């Protein structure tokens, strides 16, 4: 039996509790009550979420042996710092707990308790720079879904907490159980911790349907050599007009944007497949493996081989 304690702070984001469903379904898939989940707070009693939903909690100091503590984040950690009681409690349990995890801005609570000093951590990208400024001894990686550093797990935005919880299930009960949980929860994929928080499609964020349609078309046809003329024809614009509108709406030229889409697609294949790099380069539209390597170094600062080694090491 593995006991999981959720530490709720005043104004917690209720989305953080969605991760409890991962452990619930892990029990169902495994066919045993491996996980026992309970809600706690520093003072006990009802805790209100940012939406005003009240959740009954037990007093954390009275908890029996907890194997994993999960700290839920709040909407704005700069305006709602942790209490002295919460920090003192986490400092104490930090010496004994098998794992202590933070969902989203819950990483600020761990940082305020001094548990992340000289460690790697992540949090929601919006607050990552603030976290690095306030806690310079922490290596904040603002572009990761989740990070595991020893006993301390931190995740990015709220939905990334689901990936973190699923990774815990995989570590505790194996890949087959984790895959079954993902299937039951209709999770599109189990994202690795090294995956970026950002999507190239979201970053571009065009304002018109025409440019969005052009991007969708490009993403579906990355294996082919895509030209401005082809994209312009797809959305019924002249090449010159298409280039002008595309750059105005996305801030990038069509060629630069498509390179970003190729880079993102290649990274996902490296993380999720065992295909040789030559095949990945061909499937994502790079001229060859050498060309993909050049773009990787320019975009990520590391070659594809290093990224694949890091993913396998993390796994």
Average pLDDT, the chain: 89
Compute, in degrees rounded to 10, the torsion defined by CA atoms 34, 39, 43, 47: 180
Burial 180-201 (b: 16+ CB within 10 A, else e): bbbeeeebeebbbbbbbbeebb
* DSSP 8-state assignment for residue 273: -
The pLDDT tens digits for 52-106 are: 999 999 999 999 889 999 999 998 999 989 999 999 999 999 877 899 999 999 9
The pLDDT tens digits for 106-150 are: 999 999 999 999 999 999 988 999 999 999 999 998 778 899 999
Give me the active site residues, please: 104
Which pLDDT value is given to residue 191?
Answer: 53
Distance CA 236, CA 314 (A): 46
Q: Write down the pTM of the prediction.
A: 0.65
Distance CA 231, CA 218 (A): 7
Task: Tell me the CATH number of domain 2-184, given options 3.40.50.880, 3.90.1150.10, 3.20.20.20, 3.30.590.20.
Answer: 3.40.50.880
Where do the CATH 1.10.10.60 domains begin and end in the chain? 200-314
Which pLDDT value is given to residue 49?
Answer: 93
CATH code of domain 200-314:
1.10.10.60
Which pLDDT value is given to residue 14?
Answer: 92
304-314 vs 254-272: helix crossing angle, rounded to 10: 40
Where do the CATH 3.40.50.880 domains begin and end in the chain? 2-184
Strands 68-71 and 152-155: unpaired
pLDDT(227) > 80? yes
């Amino acid at each position: 039996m593995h006991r999981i304690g959720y530490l709720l702070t005043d104004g917690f984001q209720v989305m953080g509790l969605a991760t409890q469903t991962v452990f619930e379904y892990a029990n169902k898939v495994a066919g045993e009550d491996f996980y026992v989940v309970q809600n706690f707070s520093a003072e006990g009693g009802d805790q209100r979420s940012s939406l005003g939903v009240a959740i009954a909690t037990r007093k954390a100091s009275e908890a029996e042996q907890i194997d994993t503590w999960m700290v839920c984040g709040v909407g704005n950690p700069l305006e709602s710092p942790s209490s002295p009681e919460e920090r003192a409690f986490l400092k104490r349990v930090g010496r004994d707990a098998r794992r202590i995890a933070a969902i989203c801005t819950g990483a600020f609570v761990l940082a305020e308790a001094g548990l992340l000093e000289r460690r790697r951590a992540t949090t929601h990208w919006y607050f990552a720079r603030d976290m690095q400024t306030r806690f310079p001894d922490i290596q904040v990686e603002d572009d990761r879904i989740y990070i595991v550093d020893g006993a301390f797990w931190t995740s990015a935005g709220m939905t990334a907490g689901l990936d973190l919880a699923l990774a815990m299930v995989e570590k505790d009960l194996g890949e087959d159980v984790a895959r079954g949980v993902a299937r039951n929860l209709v999770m599109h994929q189990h994202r690795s911790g090294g995956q970026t928080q950002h999507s190239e499609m979201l970053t571009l964020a065009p304002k018109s349907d025409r440019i969005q349609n052009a991007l969708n078309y490009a993403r579906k046809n990355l294996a082919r050599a895509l030209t401005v003329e082809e994209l312009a024809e797809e959305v019924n614009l002249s090449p010159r007009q298409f280039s002008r509108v595309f750059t105005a709406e996305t801030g990038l030229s069509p060629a630069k944007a498509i390179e970003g889409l190729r880079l993102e697609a290649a990274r996902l294949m490296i993380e999720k497949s065992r295909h040789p790099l030559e095949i990945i380069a061909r499937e994502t539209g790079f001229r060859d493996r050498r060309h993909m390597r050049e773009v990787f170094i320019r975009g990520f600062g590391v070659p594809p081989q290093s990224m694949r080694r890091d993913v396998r090491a993390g796994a």
